[in-house]
Chains A and B, each alone.
Chain A
Amino acid sequence: MSGFVTFFGLAGAGLIGLGLYGFLAHAHLLRRLLSFNVMGSGVFLMFGAAAARSPALGADAVPQALIITGIVVKLAGTALAVALLVQLARSLGRAALPEDEEGPRA
Chain B
Amino acid sequence: MTTLLLALPVALPLLAALIAVAAARIAADLAMATGLLVLGLAVWLVAEVAHAGPVSIALGGWEAPLGIVLHADGLGASFLLVTALIMAAVLPAARQGFADRGAETRAGFAFWPLALLLFAGMNTAFLSRDLFNLFVALELLTLSAVALVAIEGKAETITAALRYMIFALLGSVLFLLGAALAYSAYATLDMTRLAGVAAGDWPMAAAVALMTLGLAIKTALFPFHAWLPPAHSGAPAPASAMLSALVPKASFVIMLRLWFEVVPDLASPLLVLVLGSLGAVAVVWGSLLAIGQARLKLIIAYSTVAQLGYLFLVFPLAGGVGAAQPWAAGAWTAVSFHAFSHALAKAAMFLAAGLFLRAVGHDRLEGLRGLARAMPIACFAFGLSAIALMGLPPSGGFTAKYLLLTSAFASGQWIWGVVLVAGGLLAAVYLFRPLNLMFSKEGADPATLRPVPRGEQALPLLLALAAILLGIASSGPFDFLQIGRPGDAAAGLAP
Contact = CB atoms under 8 A, between A and B. Distances in A.
Contacts of B173: 36, 39-40, 43
Interface of B: 66, 132, 135-136, 139, 143, 146-147, 150, 153, 155, 158-159, 161-163, 165-166, 168-170, 172-173, 176-177, 180, 183-184, 187, 226
Contact of B143 (A46, A62, A76): A76
Contacts of A91: 155, 158
Contacts of A70: 176
A45 to B, nearest CB: 10
A102 to B, nearest CB: 14
A87 B173 CA distance: 24
B139 to A, nearest CB: 5
19 contacts: A40-B176, A43-B176, A43-B180, A46-B177, A47-B183, A50-B180, A63-B183, A69-B132, A73-B139, A77-B143, A80-B143, A81-B162, A84-B146, A84-B161, A84-B162, A87-B150, A87-B158, A92-B159, A97-B162
A51 interface: yes
Interface in A54-106: 60, 62-63, 66, 69-70, 73, 76-77, 80-81, 84-85, 87-88, 91-92, 97-99
Majority DSSP secondary structure for residues of B touching A = helix
Interface of A: 16, 23, 29, 32, 36, 39-40, 43, 46-47, 50-51, 60, 62-63, 66, 69-70, 73, 76-77, 80-81, 84-85, 87-88, 91-92, 97-99
Contacts of A92: 155, 159
Contact of B158 (A16, A76, A84): A84
Given A43-B173, A73-B139, A81 B180 contact: no
Nearest to A49: B184
Nearest to A70: B176
Contact of B169 (A36, A43, A87, A99): A36
Contacts of A16: 177
B296 to A, nearest CB: 23
Contacts of B136: 69, 73
